[in-house]
Structure formats: C-alpha cells, structure tokens
Amino acid sequence: MTKVMRNKKEVLLVMEYFEGFTLETVMKERFFQSEKFEGGEIRHIINSLLGAISYIHSLNIIHRDIKPDNIIVPLDLDYTKLKLCDFGLCTIADGPIVEKVEGSAIYMAPELIMR
C-alpha cells in the first residue's frame, strides 16, 4: 500500500519494499535468450501499468519519467503485479504541467521536446 503525502512544494510517496527486477532487465534477458513475450504477458504488463498510471492520475500526480527502468517486475515474474517506481520527476497537475522538460528523452512524447 502506498501512502501519499503532499505539501505546496513536494509530493511524498511511502511505498512498501518490493523485491524484483526492472522491466528493462527482464526485456534484455529475454532478448539475449531469444525469448519473446507472449500476448498474455504483454496484456498483463500494459494493464498493470495503466492501473498504476490511472491511480496516480486520480491523485493529480504526473510521473513524467515512465520507462522500463522505472517499472519493477516481482521475482516470480508475475506481470499482473508490476510496480511503478522513481517518482523523482513527478509533479502535481494543478497548473502548467510542463514548466521545463524533464525525463528520459528516448521515452518522452515528441510534443514535450518540441514544446
């Protein structure tokens, strides 16, 4: 369970310890083993990620750095239980969302880069 606290300058998230691998690590490992993701696995990854995004957006929090390195897969590789992490660049959506461009450019929406 995640506890969300905020003040005028910060959003603080207190999260449980979650042991696992980054999705980036899992993707690389599977690539090197020439092992493709099954359709059901991809569906679970997308559903888990959309659930996490929907939840933080319901709290008016925007992550701003969603990428495979910031998605944790549990040790048992249950793709229905992914965790979104690294909220260091997040912001509260109560005004202009894009004050400055932050995040990983390779995963960023083109309109953010082009302003």
Residue 92 confidence (pLDDT): 82
Ranges of the chain with pLDDT below 70: 1, 95-115
Catalytic status, residue 65: yes
Q: Can you give the pTM of this predicted structure?
A: 0.75
**Helix ranges restricted to H, 33-72:** 39-58
Residue 77 confidence (pLDDT): 94
- DSSP element (H, E) containing 6: strand 3-6
Active-site entry in 65, 78, 86, 94: 65
CA distances from 22 to 4, 7, 19, 69, 82 (A): 23, 30, 10, 5, 9
The HSE-up count of residue 108 (CA atoms within 13 Å, CB side) is 16
- DSSP element (H, E) containing 113: helix 110-114
- Residue closest to 49 by CA, chosen among 18, 75, 73, 15: 73
Please give the domain boundaries of the chain with CATH numbers for all domains.
18-114 (1.10.510.10)
Q: Say how far apart CA 108 and CA 84 lie, in whole Å.
A: 17
Question: Could you report the per-residue pLDDT of 45-70, keeping only the tens digit for each?
Answer: 999 999 999 999 999 888 888 999 99
